[in-house]
């Protein structure tokens, strides 16, 4: 399986369990792997491959859209929408809170999910 990787799309969102997260917001980072078949790709044409700019737009649409309490929900919503992109067969989505409101956690928390058609 061939892959297009988009790393660390940064969004400011109002997602989380705590009321403070929902009202004050925080930074999120989203990384993607789009699985596809490029074995027959002979042309240097954007219309023959998924345009990863549309994948970034999908991430932004979900992140700036309806608030979610769980990272798992955010990742699932993003994955479901990414699978609507033509030629994308499978996706892996990582949604990361680099600064979660959890005492002692300094490396962030993330959820990684994979989905396929």
Catalytic positions are: 97
- Count of Cβ atoms closer than 10 Å to residue 49 Cβ: 18
Q: Find, among 51, 49, 13, 18, the residue nearest to 30 by Cα.
A: 13
8 Ramachandran zone, left/alpha/beta (phi>0; psi -120 to 50): left
Please tell me whether residue 98 adopts helix, strand or coil conformation.
Answer: coil
Separation CA 31–CA 93 (nearest Å) = 6
């Amino acid at each position: 399986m061939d892959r297009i990787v988009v790393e660390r799309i940064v969004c400011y969102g109002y997602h989380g369990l705590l009321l403070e997260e929902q009202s004050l917001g925080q930074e999120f980072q989203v990384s993607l792997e789009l699985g596809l078949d490029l074995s027959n790709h002979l042309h240097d044409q954007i219309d023959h491959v998924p345009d990863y700019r549309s994948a970034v737009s999908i991430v932004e649409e979900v992140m700036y859209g309806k608030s979610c309490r769980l990272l798992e929900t955010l990742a699932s919503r993003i994955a479901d929408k990414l699978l609507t992109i033509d030629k994308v067969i499978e996706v892996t989505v990582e949604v990361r809170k680099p600064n979660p409101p959890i005492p002692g956690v300094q490396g962030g928390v993330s959820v990684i999910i994979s989905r396929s058609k």
